[in-house]
């Protein structure tokens, strides 16, 4: 082999290594980005499920909840409210004259669900469930 051929082969091998390392670096970045995305979605799904469970369990707590007369519902509204813990579920309930709000947080994400309610024969009937606020870290 001539020195030109050896030099060409050396450059080709170096380019292949650079290309391989660049590809691996890109794959690592994509993996980290995808993992972060999945963690954020998992955190939101967890808070949504806990908040929804809170509304579904409102029947058990409705008589012990004070009616709050507030116009703005945000995370600060739920700070003084007692955290309800049932197994893995953790949520806070807020009752206004017309709506029930359920708040849950997990891993930096939070979810506030809202539902209109009526009492029929001492049974809570939820209407128009909606996502009031959410945050993903």
Contacts of 74 by beta carbon, 8 Å cutoff, 6+ apart = 112, 133
Q: How far apart are CA 122 and CA 128, in angstroms?
A: 19
The pLDDT of residue 68 is: 85
* Spans of all domains in the chain: 41-135
Q: How far apart are CA 135 and CA 52, in angstroms?
A: 16
Contacts of 112 by beta carbon, 8 Å cutoff, 6+ apart = 51, 73, 74, 75, 78, 101, 102, 103, 131, 132, 133, 134
Bridge partners, residue 85, by sequence: 90
The pLDDT of residue 1 is: 64
φ, ψ of residue 68 in degrees (nearest 5) = -100, 130
Indicate the SS3 state at residue 40.
Answer: helix
The pLDDT of residue 137 is: 64
- In 1-137, the DSSP E strands lie at 84-86, 89-95, 99-106, 109-120, 123-135
The pLDDT of residue 36 is: 92
How high is the mean pLDDT in each 10-residue block of the chain (137 residues)?
75 88 93 93 93 92 85 87 92 92 92 92 87 75
Q: How far apart are CA 89 and CA 55, in angstroms?
A: 12
């Amino acid at each position: 082999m001539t020195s030109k051929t050896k030099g060409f082969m050396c450059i080709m091998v170096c380019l292949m290594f650079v290309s391989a390392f660049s590809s691996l670096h890109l794959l690592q970045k994509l993996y980290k980005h995808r993992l972060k995305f999945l963690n954020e979605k998992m955190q939101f799904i967890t808070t949504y499920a806990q908040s929804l469970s809170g509304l579904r369990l409102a029947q058990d707590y409705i008589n012990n909840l004070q009616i709050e007369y507030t116009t703005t519902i945000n995370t600060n509204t739920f700070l003084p409210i007692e955290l309800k813990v049932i197994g893995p579920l953790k949520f806070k309930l807020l009752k206004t004259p017309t709506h029930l709000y359920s708040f849950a947080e997990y891993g930096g994400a939070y979810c506030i669900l809202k539902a209109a309610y009526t009492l029929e024969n001492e049974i809570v009937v939820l209407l128009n469930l909606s996502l009031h606020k959410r945050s993903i870290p």
